[in-house]
Amino acid sequence: MIDINTIFAVIDPSTDKQIALQRAMRIARVVDAKIHAYLCISPTLEAHDPEALRRVEMARYEPWLESIVDAAIEEGVNISSQLEWSSDWRNAIGTAAREVSSDLIVKSSHRRTATRRLMMTSSDLALLETTHCSVQLVSSEVVEDLHRVLIAVNAKKDDEENNRIFNAVVAYGKAVAATNKNGELHAVYAYSGSDEFRHLTDIAKRVDIDTSHVHEVEGNPEEAIVEVAKQINAQIIIIGLSTKGTLVNRIFGNMVDRLLNNIDHDILVVIPEEE
């Protein structure tokens, strides 16, 4: 059962096109959640008087953020906002989301060019390392409905931790697919060698979908996800993340980063609630 009460939408100060907020608003309408719009401003210049610079920049961005929030309110959205100044904006996002007890963080993550790759990579990875809740990274192409959903499942292990992640990914996948009357839930399973192979019927039964919507690919998970996502034209990819350690999260985050540079879909990183 997915319970989302507060959606934390990260505002992008570099553009008027707030794709993360637009996605958060669509989600909020479906699950009847409130939105907390968060804008973090970071100093880009050295100043003789840092405090004066902070005051000037905050005063400049405050009315802009208010206009964004007012537009959302006019559309009937329950929304609050927060403007923060921090030299470490990449890590500030996760901290701020935790302070307002958010259940889902929504952040834009445009397909990167060579010149923007480092900046966008560091912010996405920092968020995955510091977040306490699930994160949806929104592509540059925001579609109205996410009707074709692809979940990446790991059927190799049958331990408590893996089952917890598996079940959470399936639950989120079903919840997203259910938001559209034509919703389709697909599952991809990557394996290497006969010892990791699982029958389609076993995975289909566990996920509770038709075998035609289960896709098994021999190879590494990243390549399998990209291959199947393009094959079925998925609008969103859902994957699970353990919260057991920074090293695990960093390795996983690097995989997410490579996915973001190969496909232009929303990626929802599910972090199961601690039991």
Distance, CA of 215 to CA of 188 (rounded, Å): 5
* For residue 257, pLDDT beyond 70: no
pLDDT in tens, 36-51: 999 999 887 676 788 8
Tell me, what's the pLDDT at 1? 58
Classify the C-alpha dihedral 14-17-23-26 as positive or negative.
Answer: positive
For residue 65, is it within any domain? yes
Distance, CA of 252 to CA of 274 (rounded, Å): 19
> Which helix (H) or strand (E) covers residue 172, if one does?
helix 160-177
* Domain end (from 110, 138, 166): 138
| Residue length of the chain | 275
* CATH code (residue 264): 3.40.50.12370
For residue 171, is it within any domain? yes
For residue 1, is it within any domain? no
Q: Per DSSP, which regions of 51-154 are E strands?
A: 79-85, 104-108, 134-138, 148-152
Rg from Cα positions in the chain: 19
Residues 243 and 126 both lie in one domain = no
Answer whether 214's CB lies under 8 Å from 179's CB. no
Q: What is the pTM of this model?
A: 0.88
DSSP bridge pairs for 81: 37
- State the total domains in the chain: 2
* For residue 116, pLDDT beyond 80: no
Residues 237 and 192 both lie in one domain = yes
Residues 121 and 178 both lie in one domain = no
pLDDT in tens, 60-84: 999 999 999 999 999 999 999 999 9
Residues 55 and 175 both lie in one domain = no
For residue 275, is it within any domain? no
For residue 66, is it within any domain? yes
The domain in which residue 33 lies consists of 6-138
Residues 124 and 152 both lie in one domain = no
Residues 227 and 111 both lie in one domain = no
120 falls in which pLDDT band (50, 70, 90)?
very low
Residues 233 and 265 both lie in one domain = yes
Single out the residue of 263, 230, 236, 22 nearest to residue 148, CA to CA. Answer: 236
Residues 23 and 81 both lie in one domain = yes
Single out the residue of 98, 140, 144, 97 nearest to residue 120, CA to CA. Answer: 140
* Domain end (from 111, 138, 165): 138
Residues 50 and 131 both lie in one domain = yes
With tokens 């695990």, the residue in question is 248
Residue 31: C-alpha distances to residues 6, 78, 98 (Å): 10, 12, 20
* For residue 24, pLDDT beyond 60: yes
Query: Which two structure tokens, joined as six digits, stand for 118?
Result: 């480092």
Distance, CA of 271 to CA of 229 (rounded, Å): 21
Residues 132 and 156 both lie in one domain = no
Tell me, what's the pLDDT at 247? 44
* CATH code (residue 74): 3.40.50.620
Classify the C-alpha dihedral 109-113-114-116 as positive or negative.
Answer: negative
Residues 130 and 220 both lie in one domain = no
* Domain end (from 138, 172, 194): 138
Distance, CA of 209 to CA of 186 (rounded, Å): 8
pLDDT in tens, 154-164: 888 777 888 88
Angle at the Cα of 234 from the Cα atoms of 242 and 26, rounded to 5 degrees: 80
Distance, CA of 21 to CA of 233 (rounded, Å): 23
Residues 132 and 33 both lie in one domain = yes
For residue 143, is it within any domain? no
- Asked which of 45-59, 108-122, 125-139, 222-236 is least confident by mean pLDDT, the reply is 108-122
